[in-house]
A and B are shown apart, each in its own frame.
Chain A
Amino acid sequence: AAGVIQSPRHLIKEKRETATLKCYPIPRHDTVYWYQQGPGQDPQFLISFYEKMQSDKGSIPDRFSAQQFSDYHSELNMSSLELGDSALYFCATHPGGLSEKLFFGSGTQLSVL
């Protein structure tokens, strides 16, 4: 069965650079969540989209932006990267309505040097 695809799997950037993380939901999943998990930390909610509109916002820095496209994939854009942005970034999706669970991608490991 198709799963949530995140790319790239690993990303290495330098301070002040930009990064774009991509998330491809399972077909017919119209809701996307982004989470950030720092080393040894719990995942923190960043932002979510439903039907291509932002539905909720968490602790997302102003340097980050995200959007959901017409094909329901989502991109998280991160600018002026800082060392503290190094983390595992998860995307999770579900088809809306009553759903058993969020389906998580394998995550993108971002390292800022």
Chain B
Amino acid sequence: RKEVEQDPGPFNVPEGATVAFNCTYSNSASQSFFWYRQDCRKEPKLLMSVYSSGNEDGRFTAQLNRASQYISLLIRDSKLSDSATYLCVVTRPGNQFYFGTGTSLTVIP
């Protein structure tokens, strides 16, 4: 079983829509959680960390459910510039990072 699993999509949504991505992880010892964004032919860049209490950054909300071992990312009022691949990342003690395969989002005018 993979450490991190994501629905690869693609998700095609109209501008202004709300879209949610989920990610599950297999190891209950996982320590830290992140969402990264990767634009076409670019490197992954940190979008936001994910905390147990949930956290929000503008139109983006991330949540963590440790009991069910899943992470979510909600994007409200989608913009064309949100089109990218969103990578779920989970860490384990010892600086081990595990990446999901990414979920592709295209926001349509």
A binds B: no
Q: Which residues of B line the A interface, CB within 8 A?
A: none
| Residues of A in contact with B (beta carbons under 8 Å apart) | none
